Amino acid sequence: MEILPWTGEHRAFREDFRGFLAREVFPFVDRWESDGIVPRSAWRAMGAAGFLCTDVPREYGGRGLDFLYSVIVVDEMAKTNCYGLSPRLHSNVVVPYITSFASEELKHRYLPGCIAGEIVTGIAMTEPHAGSDVAAIRTSAVEDGDVVVLNGQKTFISNGTNGDLFVVAAKDPATEDPHRAVDIYLVEGKTPGFERGRRLKKAGWHSQDTTEIFFHDCRVPLTHRLGGKGSGFKNLMRHLQPERLVVAIGAVSAAEWVLEHTISHVKGTDVSGRALSSFQHVRFEIAEMATEVRIGRTFVDKLIADHIEGMNVVREVSMAKWWTTETAWRIADRCLQLHGRLGLDESGPLARAWRDLRVTRILAGTNEIMKGIIARMTGV
Ligand SMILES: Cc1cc2nc3c(=O)[nH]c(=O)nc-3n(C[C@H](O)[C@H](O)[C@H](O)COP(=O)(O)OP(=O)(O)OC[C@H]3O[C@@H](n4cnc5c(N)ncnc54)[C@H](O)[C@@H]3O)c2cc1C
């Protein structure tokens, strides 16, 4: 029995999305990887086809679909073996800050563009001296009449080059409590004083534009503060549950895809006159990985169901984030080994999957931070 209540509409949506990916994404992935960025036209195509922000209510131009449609998008995107075009970040991480905390006026101004792929979004928390410890950020936000003036620097910001609109974490220097000092603001990339720095070269996610951002007396209307004053840290933490859940879903989907690919490879490859799949070591490797993938899928599906029910599953989502990303990366590593030299060949999919899955152990809260949360919530 399936844990999740898939309907005919969900299945039809999945088929449509697969068709879209076959036409608009798969043929271009290699070029995007070497360009280090995805063209804006890909975002617009995805928006025009109705695959961005599927859960945004109809009153703002969205489709008002349930969370399972987001799961389908994350699941199928993981099988593209490309992280540059990231509806997961845009639709499931950044835009929910707008739907949850922005005024009606801002929702009507920005959400239709986000849904259409005309507005690409990002979130800017990390700074050169503050990653895991968000309360240590130094970017300042000083009120001046009806604006707030931002000064500081962000780094490793996904969609940093393509992005038009950013959720930015900054601190009121007049507030002593480092957590209460944090607020979040919705900042347009074209605001004077918002400057983009280098596009960073990374050991993974090559098609993802990951960029530095600088604020030099960047004046943002106070109405762009998301949530009440002093609530930024709490709101960031509150939104981490869905962010980490979609990372875990993506990790399981990617592991399934890497394993499927490897099963075909070992069945279709001969070594010393025998199919690779006939060696006991290879069979045991496949058996162990298939078991791990199944455990991951079952756990994550249960969490999706709990999340849809509105349950607080912060501890379990933290467990899923660390375990699925660690497992997916290890599976990519073992699968690469089973491909021998071909695993390292950049023209095949394994090298990229291996690099890209490594990244997921670090972002959205490192796996060590996940274990800290689990230990605390387990009473130690
Ligand atoms: C490809 C990519 C895209 C990213 N995109 C974005 C983005 O769009 N927006 C954004 O704001 N950020 C983004 N980031 C940054 C990401 O959020 C941070 O890398 C992450 O939060 C970890 O911070 P850090 O890298 O500074 O590591 P640090 O916090 O400096 O940690 C270094 C090491 O110390 C460990 N550590 C730190 N604190 C503890 C602790 N309390 N207990 C135990 N161990 C600890 C960590 O686990 C890690 O192993 C991105 C990162 C990557 C790699």
The atom of ligand 1 lying closest to the CA of 359 is 53
CATH code for the domain of 69: 1.10.540.10
Which structure tokens are listed for 18? 């697969």
The pLDDT of residue 1? 76
Within a domain: residue 3? no
Is 243 labeled as catalytic in the residue annotation? yes
Within a domain: residue 2? no
Asked whether residue 369 falls in the same domain as residue 283, the answer is yes
**Mean pLDDT for each consecutive 10-residue tract of the chain (380 residues)?**
94 98 97 97 98 97 97 98 95 97 98 98 97 96 98 98 98 96 98 97 96 98 97 93 95 98 97 96 98 98 96 96 98 98 93 97 96 97
Which segments of the chain does DSSP mark as H helices, in order?
Answer: 8-24, 29-35, 40-48, 67-78, 87, 95-101, 104-116, 232-268, 280-308, 314-338, 341-344, 349-359, 367-377
Mutate to test the pocket of ligand 1, among 92, 126, 167 (most ligand atoms within 8 A of CB): 126
Report the separation in Å between the CA atom of 51 and the middle of ligand 1, taken as the mean of its atom positions: 29
Within a domain: residue 224? yes
The pLDDT of residue 3? 93
**Which one of the listed residues 33, 127, 212, 243 is annotated catalytic?**
243
The pLDDT of residue 347? 87
Asked whether residue 19 falls in the same domain as residue 61, the answer is yes
The pLDDT of residue 240? 87
The pLDDT of residue 144? 97
Residue 372: CB within 6 Å of ligand 1?
yes
Nearest-angstrom CA–CA distance, 179 and 184? 12
The pLDDT of residue 43? 98
Report the separation in Å between the CA atom of 365 and the middle of ligand 1, taken as the mean of its atom positions: 6
How many folded domains does the chain comprise?
3
Number of C-beta neighbours around residue 332 at 10 A: 28
Residue 81 sits in which domain range? 8-119
Residue 126: CB within 6 Å of ligand 1?
yes
**Torsions phi, psi of 345, nearest 5?**
-70, 120
Within a domain: residue 309? yes
Residue 366: CB within 6 Å of ligand 1?
yes
The pLDDT of residue 201? 95
The pLDDT of residue 342? 96
CATH code for the domain of 152: 2.40.110.10
Q: Side chain identity at 134, as an amino acid letter?
A: V
Within a domain: residue 1? no
